[in-house]
Amino acid sequence: MALSVVDLYAKILPKTNCKDCGFLTCIAFAGMVVSEKHPLKNCPHIDPDILSDAEQELEQQYKEGKWLKKDMAKEALEWAKKKAASMKLSDIASRIGGELTTVEGIEQITLPYFNKKLLITKDWITDNNGNELTRNEQTFVYIHMAQGGVSDPSGNMKSFKEFPNTVSKIVSMKDLVEKPLQKTFAEKMDKLTLACETSGGKDVTSQYESCDMASLFTAFPKIPVTLLFWDADDGFEAEAKLLFDETIIQHLDIESIMFLSEHLCYLLTR
């Protein structure tokens, strides 16, 4: 019989909340075992026979996918990959500004991506050093391939909140992108300049009078992103803001724009 979180807690676990498994409570541990395949044996206080029977039950329900947390990242990648696969690589390449080549009979797109190049086929994506991209990064690239529009950047840069349907993401943009940048680079402008150069940024400070530093990144050929930075001064905290070309919503959805922003933050602060 399948074991729910409550079954596991009520019938198998000792309910002492001793924390030896690394969780604060037995019920929290039970939740992780049932929904995320956390090993039951990490609770060292279960009778070996009971443990063995329970592990068999769990194995069966994992196979059936019962109560398992959905792997959203995997589903998103499969969806994006399928959508991109239904299109001709030659059409995609010209649409998103990549170059189509054929290597050993396999068509591939070479696409500039920040300070490196991506090699893309319908089945895999690597960077120019042969490293495979993370699953989230691959999803991001396939989404751009699937929905990237024909428009070239207009040069009219806008802040994130000026785009439609971004209200629910404003806090994430602040917490996951702007604040880490502010914290890392406040009163460390030399470090910021070096980080921008290393990540392929071009100094465009002269185009923005109000800020202390501006750097333009080419995330993809049709997707420019500008980082504006104001250093801490006279009791004012440092401030960081990203600007995107107004055409970005023809190339990426809002989730992907968030991913792009977080990725740029990662490149600069790592």
Could you say which of 16, 35, 60, 156 contacts ligand SF4 (CB under 6 A)?
16
Q: Which among 12-20, 89-97, 134-142, 258-266 is the span making contact with ligand SF4, rule CB under 6 A? A: 12-20
Contact indicator for 252, 143 with CB cutoff of 8 Å:
yes
Instruction: Label residue 79 exposed, middle or buried (CB < 10 Å: 0-12, 13-18, 19+).
Output: middle
Q: Which is nearer to ligand SF4, 45 or 135 (CB)?
A: 45
Contact indicator for 109, 91 with CB cutoff of 8 Å:
no
Q: Which is nearer to ligand SF4, 13 or 240 (CB)?
A: 13
Q: Which is nearer to ligand SF4, 41 or 83 (CB)?
A: 41
Using CB under 6 A as the binding rule, whether residue 11 contacts ligand SF4 is answered as no
Q: Which is nearer to ligand SF4, 7 or 137 (CB)?
A: 7
From the centroid of its chain, how far is CA 187? 28
Could you say which of 10, 18, 85, 106 contacts ligand SF4 (CB under 6 A)?
18
Q: Which is nearer to ligand SF4, 39 or 156 (CB)?
A: 39
Q: Which is nearer to ligand SF4, 42 or 205 (CB)?
A: 42
Q: Which among 8-16, 63-71, 116-124, 211-219 is the span making contact with ligand SF4, rule CB under 6 A? A: 8-16
Could you say which of 20, 53, 78, 197 contacts ligand SF4 (CB under 6 A)?
20
**Residues ≥6 apart with Cβ < 8 Å to 182:** 237, 238, 239, 240
CB of 51 to ligand SF4, least distance (A): 11
Q: Which is nearer to ligand SF4, 40 or 93 (CB)?
A: 40
Q: Which is nearer to ligand SF4, 28 or 211 (CB)?
A: 28
Using CB under 6 A as the binding rule, whether residue 19 contacts ligand SF4 is answered as yes
Give the C-alpha separation, 200 to 113, whole Å: 9
Structure tokens at 79: 């969806």
Could you say which of 10, 14, 198, 255 contacts ligand SF4 (CB under 6 A)?
14
CB of 48 to ligand SF4, least distance (A): 14
Site residues for ligand SF4, window 23-52 (CB under 6 A)? 23, 26, 29, 43, 45
Could you say which of 17, 126, 205, 269 contacts ligand SF4 (CB under 6 A)?
17
CB of 30 to ligand SF4, least distance (A): 7
Binding site for ligand SF4 (CB under 6 A): 13-14, 16-21, 23, 26, 29, 43, 45
